[in-house]
């Protein structure tokens, strides 16, 4: 009886040990499975991606200096072009001011004043044409002929530059003798006077002036 009892105890102990070993093995297997799953779901190693990003950043930084240099050169070219354009605009503005000072466009008031002067000039011309008749009858015709001939070719006190038109009004531009600046140019309309010479008629190729004491004098237009 004792032997059978001992064998039963040993067999029971073996069964218990096998059960415990099976439980431990199962537990280890579960842990190993969990580790494998965790390993499969773990993120990839970020080091290679970081290295690629760093390499790309290095390439970008290496390309920046030439781009900055090219941008600076382009900016300098734009500044030079702007300076040249500004200088040209200043020259054009100065030219326009000079032209405006030489030959300003007449206003309605100027045209009205010119018309009035023209009417006064026509009246004065008619008076001049009538006056010489009386003294000529009292003098001998042959005696004053030679002095008059000597004084018939006076030098004009100005130089004619040409004809200018403002709307329907024609002017002759004249530069006084000894003057050289454009600001001294005068625009004359019939009835206007310059240095004692009064413009009487503007024709196609000549201007007729009334010269004091000498009558009319025709000057060619350039």
Q: Kindly report, residue by residue over 32-86, the tens digit of the pLDDT.
A: 888 888 777 766 667 788 888 888 888 888 888 888 788 888 888 888 877 776 7
* pLDDT over 50 at 165, yes or no: yes
Max Cα–Cα distance, the chain, nearest Å: 200
Average pLDDT, the chain: 75
Q: Kindly report, residue by residue over 3-39, the tens digit of the pLDDT.
A: 667 777 778 888 888 888 888 888 888 888 888 887 7
* pLDDT over 50 at 188, yes or no: yes
pLDDT, residue 119, reads 55
C-alpha to C-alpha distance for 192 and 209, rounded to whole angstroms: 10
Residue of higher predicted confidence among 197 and 149 = 197
pLDDT, residue 112, reads 58
* pLDDT over 90 at 168, yes or no: no
């Amino acid at each position: 009886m004792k032997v059978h009892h001992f064998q039963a105890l040993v067999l029971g102990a073996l069964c218990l040990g096998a059960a415990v070993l099976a439980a431990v093995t199962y537990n280890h297997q579960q842990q190993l499975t969990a580790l494998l799953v965790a390993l499969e779901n773990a993120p990839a190693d970020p080091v290679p991606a970081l290295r690629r990003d760093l390499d790309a950043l290095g390439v970008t930084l290496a390309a920046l200096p030439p781009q900055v240099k090219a941008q600076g050169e382009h900016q300098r070219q734009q500044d030079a072009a702007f300076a040249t354009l500004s200088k040209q605009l200043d020259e054009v503005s100065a030219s326009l001011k000079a032209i405006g000072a030489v030959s300003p466009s007449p206003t309605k008031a100027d045209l009205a004043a010119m018309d009035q002067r023209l009417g006064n000039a026509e009246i004065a011309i008619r008076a001049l044409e009538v006056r010489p008749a009386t003294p000529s009858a009292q003098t001998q015709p042959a005696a004053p002929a030679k002095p008059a001939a000597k004084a018939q070719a006076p030098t004009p006190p100005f130089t004619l530059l040409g004809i200018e038109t403002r709307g329907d009004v024609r002017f002759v531009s004249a530069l006084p003798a000894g003057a050289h600046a454009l600001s001294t140019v005068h625009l004359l309309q019939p009835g206007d006077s310059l240095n004692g010479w009064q413009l009487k008629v503007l024709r196609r190729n000549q201007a007729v002036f009334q010269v004091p004491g000498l009558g009319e004098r025709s000057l060619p237009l350039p």
